[in-house]
Amino acid sequence: MDEIIFSTTQKNEIIDITEEVSDIVKKSKINEGICLVYTPHATAAIILNENWDESVQEDFLQMLREIAPEGRWKHDKQDGNGASHVKASIVGPSETMIMKDGRLVLGQWQNIFFCEFDGPRQERKVFVQIIKK
């Protein structure tokens, strides 16, 4: 299992991690299998989405702000991040992709993104597990 560690800079942001995950896949020297990308944070998520037009990510964050607005959750009494937990639960902590010929099978405009819902954070982690066919 490999690990990607990075910082985030905004309360809500989407960070493209495709290159880092692809490097791990290449390094594995496994031709066929599956690649699991997982974040262990309760206020973050992983998605596959369009990489060409960043308005797609902006629209996604806007939709989540509308579904889970700030300041109306019971958990806010604990540490003020109830909406962050709701967003992460809706989106989910992982994605699984097929590997073929030593590469991820992604659509033409598809990339892997880390979703930050409770930033900025000094350290966020993503784990990548390659499973050989």
Q: Which residues contact 127 (CB under 8 A, 6 or more apart)?
A: 1, 2, 3, 4, 36, 37, 38, 39, 40
- Angle between helices 55-67 and 82-91 in degrees, nearest 10: 120
Question: pLDDT (tens digit, 9 = 90+) per residue, 18-41?
Answer: 999 999 999 999 999 999 999 999
Q: What's the pLDDT at 40?
A: 98
Q: What is the rounded CA–CA span in Å between residue 73 and residue 46?
A: 23
| pTM for this entry | 0.95
Question: Looking at the chain, how many residues does it have?
Answer: 133
Q: What's the pLDDT at 62?
A: 97
**Which residue, 132, 117, 125, 103, is CA-closest to 38?**
125
Q: What is the rounded CA–CA span in Å between residue 18 and residue 110?
A: 9
Q: What is the CATH number of domain 2-132?
A: 2.60.120.460
Q: What's the pLDDT at 36?
A: 98
Parts of the chain with a pLDDT under 70: none
Q: What's the pLDDT at 76?
A: 77
Q: What's the pLDDT at 54?
A: 86
Q: What's the pLDDT at 110?
A: 95
